[in-house]
C-alpha cells in the first residue's frame, strides 16, 4: 500500500483552522448570524462554529470528492482514497485562499458590515477555481471528457453547498 499524500490533509486542516479562527473573531466582535438553522443560540453561534467547522469541512470535502468520483468516474475503477488525494486540495485551497482569506482581510480592515459588499468581487472566484481545478484533475484521474468532469464538479459543488448551508455562517 502506498503512503498517503499529505497535501490534501494540510489543505483541509488549514481551511478548517482558518475558518475556525474567523468564526472566533466574529464571536469576539459580537456578531450574530441572521439565520440559524441549527438549535444554537445566535449570540453564541460563531463560538460554536469555531469547534464544529473543521470536522464539517472534512465531511464536505469527502462529499464533494465522492460525488465527483461517482459522476465523472463512470465505470473506471479509481479508489476513493486515490480520488481524495487528487481532488480534495482542488476543493480546499480555493475556498481558503479565495474566500476565507479575503473574508478575514475585509473583516479586519473594514468590519463585518463591509463583508457583503466586498464579497461581490471575490465571492465567485473560489467556485470558479474549484470547478476549473477539479475538471483538470478529474479528466486525468478518471479519463473522462472536459464537459463530464466540469458537470460533475459543478453538481458536487452545489450538493456540498446545500449540505454546508445548514451549518456554515
- Lookup result for grid cell 473573531: 25
Write down the mean pLDDT value for the chain: 95
Supply 29's cell numbers.
Answer: 466582535
- Confidence (pLDDT) at 6: 92
pLDDT above 70 for 3: no
Our CA angle for 140, 8, 50, nearest 5°, is 140
pLDDT above 80 for 41: yes
Tell me how crowded residue 29 is: count the other CB atoms within 10 A of its CB.
11
* Beta carbons of 92 and 14 less than 8 angstroms apart: yes
pLDDT above 80 for 18: yes
Mean pLDDT, rounded, for 100-129: 97
pLDDT above 70 for 53: yes
Q: Give Cβ neighbours of residue 12 (< 8 Å, ≥ 6 apart).
A: 57, 58, 61, 88, 92
Amino acid at each position: 500500500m502506498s503512503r498517503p499524500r499529505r497535501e490534501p490533509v494540510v489543505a483541509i486542516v488549514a481551511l478548517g483552522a482558518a475558518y475556525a479562527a474567523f468564526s472566533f473573531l466574529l464571536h469576539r466582535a459580537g456578531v450574530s448570524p441572521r439565520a440559524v438553522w441549527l438549535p444554537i443560540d445566535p449570540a453564541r453561534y460563531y463560538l460554536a462554529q469555531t469547534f464544529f467547522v473543521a470536522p464539517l469541512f472534512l465531511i464536505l470535502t469527502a462529499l464533494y470528492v465522492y460525488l465527483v468520483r461517482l459522476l465523472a468516474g463512470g465505470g473506471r475503477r479509481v479508489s476513493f482514497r486515490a480520488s481524495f488525494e487528487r481532488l480534495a486540495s482542488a476543493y480546499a485551497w480555493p475556498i481558503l485562499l479565495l474566500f476565507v482569506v479575503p473574508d478575514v482581510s475585509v473583516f479586519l480592515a473594514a468590519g463585518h458590515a463591509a463583508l457583503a459588499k466586498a464579497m461581490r468581487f471575490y465571492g465567485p472566484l473560489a467556485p470558479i477555481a474549484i470547478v476549473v481545478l477539479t475538471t483538470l484533475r478529474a479528466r486525468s484521474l478518471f479519463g473522462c471528457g472536459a464537459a463530464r468532469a466540469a458537470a460533475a464538479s459543478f453538481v458536487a459543488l452545489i450538493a456540498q453547498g446545500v449540505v454546508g448551508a445548514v451549518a456554515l455562517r
